[in-house]
A and B are shown apart, each in its own frame.
Chain A
Amino acid sequence: MIFSANIKLALPRQARFLGLRQKGKHSLTVTSDRERVVDKTFLLESSQFQQFLEALQRQGYAVMGPTLTQGDLRYGEVRASADLPVGWRDEEEAGSFRLIKQDDQVSFGCRVGQHSWKQFLFPPDVLLWQARREEGNWRLKVPATAEPPYAFLGVRACDLEALEVHDRVFMRGRYLDPIYQQRREKAFIVAVNCSKSGATCFCASLGTGPRAATGFDLALTEVLEDGRHFFLGEVGTKRGADILAALTHRPATATEVAAAEQLMAGAARNQTRMLATAGLKNFLYDNFENPHWDKVAERCLTCGNCAITCPTCFCHNYRDSLTVTGEVAERRRFWEVCFSVDHSYLHGGAIRPSPRSRYRQWLTHKLATWQDQFGCLGCVGCGRCITWCPVGIDITQEVRSLRAAASLETNKTAGEKEHGDH
């Protein structure tokens, strides 16, 4: 039986990974329970990818995407398709990251490395202002916007969610950050869907992936099978549609769409880690003295790798300096992590002197207090903190251990009540 309906859905985040989409610029037309044709999809042959890059460059974008520099996977300028890590794959485990070369032409075989997109919108070190001593006063100068608009090529669903989280932090609070806002508004987002999850990924359990649902100008799924190599694309915004108009492309067929869908479904299925979020905030609020914090404190080096690689961490600090002649003062802003002792320093001492308290601060902020502050979870399931922790601390495991320790306490107390004092 063939039917069609425009389905308006208010979707919980968990429903996203099932492939359903909120009603937006494009509607979901269901023609049967097996074949779906989605409006605004298009097909780009791999041979046309270079044209795509050039279309972006002609618009004035500096295209930033995954590149391999001296064996290091990082986001750099992508001028040509060959700049992408063609044929490479990443392999992660807790405390381990490897790059493996395959014998194929896949351009987006690497998911995420230790870098995230936050380095472009929320730069690790940026000049805020300079002041010059003039006629008994100080005259302030602010740097003009010098960098060109960015096009982010290859934003995974988790990182897309991280952009939304940073939008809340930097643009929707009581005060906004003009540096973030300026760069964000101009940034063109090309999402890339994952076809295989890494061992440390857990976006599916958070409903933040593996499919990129919203927040992109264009989204691509790379398909390499049966001798064909193409990108199944999806238009997200008019800005995306405008770029597409300059390219040779055609609508996607149902088979092509299905091929992409299958890859994404596979990516969701092969995830092994998960974070249960039900009641998580209140659980953590009630467990600030959970005995497990001591256990993780024994391992945590407070190196801050997790916070530096995390795409949603936003702590920063400011540094004022003066030239030798004392004529020019400047203020710079730089990333800082809550793992340092002086992060909580208040004349006389730090509020959080112990590693235990600092790890607890990071985790409870990310998973609990963040929700009260910003109305969303601070974690997007990208797995970077697990991969890049030198001792392999796994945030999903820590939450499980906290819950286990808590129920052990509850059972103990209940047991004592049953059997009386002894």
Chain B
Amino acid sequence: METIEAVLADHPFFKGMTPQHLAAVAACGRRVQFMAGEFLCREAEEALDFFVILRGSVVVEIFSHRRGPLTTGTIEEGEVLGCIWFDKPFHWHMDAKARQLSRVVALDVRALSAKCEEDHDLGYDFMKRYAQHLVVQFRVAKLQLVDMYGT
């Protein structure tokens, strides 16, 4: 079975990360498997994990009491899901549910941010990737608002 380091190295989010940094990140991670229908996270819970999706497909939903779960998008293999925080935990603002058998590496956010504090080089590298990820998330969210396929 491949090490966590090896699977992370193969993942687009960590492309080009140095082996030492990868090892540090991997040390905060554990493999988790979700069956179809299982939740990776639920709204209002503490966002203790940062998920790196290896295999499968996850749907992100906002639950409406009247309309039921409203899908905002799906997250596939090669993507990530989560927030990085430092003093106090953030809380999830949406649900994420596996649509099929999904395998992830769950990174403990507290441990990861502690490592980033210790090693600023790791911190800077990780934050660059995270910032880029957020830029893409904002961009796609706004595009989703305007209905690109309208006339």
The answer to whether any beta carbons of A and B sit under 8 Å apart in the complex is: yes
Q: How large is the interface on A (under 10, 10 to 19, 20 to 34, 35 or more residues)?
A: under 10
Bound complex: CA A381 to CA B150 (Å): 45
B151 CB-CB contact with A under 8 Å: yes
Which residues of chain A from 333 to 353 have a CB within 8 Å of any chain B CB?
347-349
Q: Give the complex CA separation of A126 and B99 in angstroms.
A: 63
Taking CB atoms, residues of chain B closer than 8 Å to A347 are: 151
Nearest CB in chain A: distance from B40 CB, A: 40
> In whole angstroms, what is the CA distance A77 to B45 when docked?
90
A347 to B150, CA, bound (A): 10
Interface residue tally for chain B (C-beta within 8 Å): 2
Nearest residue (CB) in A for B150 is A348
The proximity string for A residues 347-365 relative to B, scoring 1 for CB distances below 8 Å and 0 otherwise, is 1110000000000000000
Kindly list chain B residues whose C-beta atoms are within 8 Å of the C-beta of A348: 150-151
Task: Kindly report which residue of chain A lies nearest to residue B151, judged by CB atoms.
Answer: A348
Interface members, chain B 7-46 (any A CB < 8 Å): none
Name the distance in Å between B148's Cβ and chain A's nearest Cβ: 13
Query: What is the CB-to-nearest-CB distance from A92 to chain B, in angstroms, rounded to a whole number?
Result: 45
CA distance A347 to B151 in the complex (A): 6
Measured CB to CB, the nearest residue on chain B to A348 is B151
Q: Whole-angstrom distance from the CB of B117 to the nearest CB of chain A?
A: 38
Please name all residues of chain B whose beta carbon is closer than 8 Å to the beta carbon of A349 when the two chains form the complex. Answer: 151
- What's the nearest-Cβ distance from chain B to residue A317, in Å? 21
CB distance from B149 to the nearest CB of A (A): 11
Interface string of B137-151 (1 = CB under 8 A from A): 000000000000011
- Nearest Cβ on chain A to B8's Cβ, whole angstroms: 46
- Give the nearest-CB partner of A346 in chain B: B151
Within the complex, what minimum Cβ distance (angstroms) separates A200 from chain B? 43
Interchain nearest-CB distance for A347 vs B (Å): 5
4 nearest A-B residue pairs (beta carbon)? A348-B151, A347-B151, A348-B150, A349-B151
Q: Cα distance A202–B149 when bound, in Å?
A: 49
CA distance A349 to B150 in the complex (A): 12
Residues on A with beta carbons closer than 8 Å to the beta carbon of B150:
348
Residues of A within 8 A of B151 (CB): 347-349
A413 to chain B, nearest CB (A): 31
Interface string of B108-151 (1 = CB under 8 A from A): 00000000000000000000000000000000000000000011
State the Cβ distance, A344 to closest chain B Cβ, in Å: 15
Q: How far is the CB of B106 from chain A (nearest CB, A)?
A: 46
Shortest Cβ gap from B150 to chain A (Å): 8
Residues in B31-71 with C-beta less than 8 Å from chain A: none
Q: Provide the B81-114 mask, 1 if CB < 8 A to any CB of A, else 0.
A: 0000000000000000000000000000000000
Shortest Cβ distance from residue A205 to the other chain B in the assembled complex, whole angstroms: 46
